[in-house]
Amino acid sequence: MALPPGLPVRRAALRLLDAVLRRGETLEQAEGSALAEIRKAPDRALARAIAGETLRWLTDCDALIDSATKQRLPDDAKARMVLRLMLAQTLRLETPPHAVIATGLALLEGGPRRLAHGVFSALDRQGVKLPEVPTLPERVTARWGAEKAAAIAPGLAFPPELDLALRDPAETQARAVRMGGVSLAPGHIRLPRGAAVESLADFKEGAWWVQDLAASLPARLLGPGEGRHALDLCAAPGGKTMQLAAAGWNVTALDMSKRRLDLLKDNLKRTGLKASPVRADALTWEPKHRFDAILIDAPCTATGTSRRHPDVLHRIGKGQIAEMAELQRALVAKAAGWLNPGGVLVYAVCSLEAEEGEEQAAWIDAELGLTPAPITADELPVGLAPTAEGWLRTHPGMLADQGGLDGFFVGRWVKN
């Protein structure tokens, strides 16, 4: 009997889903083995899309499955995993039901095919739909609170559009028109999702790099460099380093990952921007000189990137948050000693967790002897505003009518 077309892609998607939900891996970590047998780029992209949409709408898919079964399937039952994929395909990716059934049941060879067929067919006959906004996992809602979760959820309904940061902000409007995009800030262009990055105008010339709008804000808060020395801590793959270099800073770019630092070097070469990459562990490294500015985009749980990495909604718990918070404090305490008097420290995380953001800023205020330098509204894109404390907090539900943005926390201080 011939295997249904598209089955290898669905098997790969199932392996991705299993890696995230059962082993706690990121989708990126899982891709190496899960997609090993998939050679064609469109097929690899489809496997990622199926797994990503399943994770994005997992709670709602589970609710539909539970509504059609007399006894609740265990969370890790293969039939539930396959039904999740089947529902995500038909309800989010508009795959025809007959194709979904053919590939889905083939994933359950030797398993409960009749059950899966019955559940999916019953839901299909009912014409079920997913809500307009995804329901967040219960543990996430409990952690963030119902009000915050409700504000964030609309920004997670779709994968993000493509944001570009420009090497020369003076080109913003002309380049936005030429590329068919919109700009939400100087030096920023947003293009529709699905654009093939390397085929876009002036990629090889290095006129821009991919960087979410929210991710570009911390470096913007340091202003023009005018030849002064800046340290980009945990710098790879280099978006913020390139921003600082383009703004006239003499940048030292520190990272401990050789692979990611190689990406930074490639990006610098493509854009023609200059920086000094250093491979070292920030907790043991000692600089040869002090800095006028230090940007710490600290390692974190990355829950703010959930619209592009929906796996974080299902992997991150209190243990990971506490571990990251401890590392962040160690990095900030170390970096504070490397600032010149009058030097500026910007601390940022792409996390939605208060323990990694607001609580860290309060600790810096209380323990490190740095003076807060409040962020002002005129430093931010239209539609964003600083908190009462002078910090910046973004989340995926903000600017939702313009495509949203990642979740970040940013604070700024000056050394006396």
> Which domains does the chain show, CATH number per domain?
7-126 (1.10.940.10), 161-211 (3.30.70), 217-415 (3.40.50.150)
The candidate with the shortest Cα–Cα distance to 303, out of 236, 395, 391, is 395
- How high is the pLDDT of residue 412? 98
Burial of 102 (0-12, 13-18, 19+ CB in 10 A): middle
* CA-based radius of gyration for the chain: 23
> Whats the size of the chain, residue-wise?
416
- How high is the pLDDT of residue 1? 54
- How high is the pLDDT of residue 271? 97
Residue 208, CB-side half-sphere exposure with 13 Å CA sphere: 29
- How high is the pLDDT of residue 65? 98
- How high is the pLDDT of residue 195? 79
Positions of the chain with pLDDT under 70: 1-2
Residue 300 annotated among the catalytic residues of the structure: no
Long-range contacts of 341-344 (CB under 8 A, 24+ apart): 341/415, 341/416, 342/292, 342/414, 342/415, 343/290, 343/291, 343/292, 343/293, 343/294, 343/414, 343/415, 344/222, 344/292, 344/293, 344/294, 344/373, 344/412, 344/413, 344/414, 344/415
The candidate with the shortest Cα–Cα distance to 27, out of 54, 65, 57, is 54
How is residue 182 annotated by DSSP? Answer: B
- How high is the pLDDT of residue 278? 97
- How high is the pLDDT of residue 2? 67
- How high is the pLDDT of residue 89? 98
Burial of 336 (0-12, 13-18, 19+ CB in 10 A): buried
| Residue 235 structure tokens | 């710098």
Which of the residues 61, 234, 300, 350 is marked catalytic?
Answer: 350
Sheet with strand 162-166: strands edge to edge:
188-191, 162-166, 208-210
Alpha helices (H) along 107-171: 113-126, 138-144, 146-152
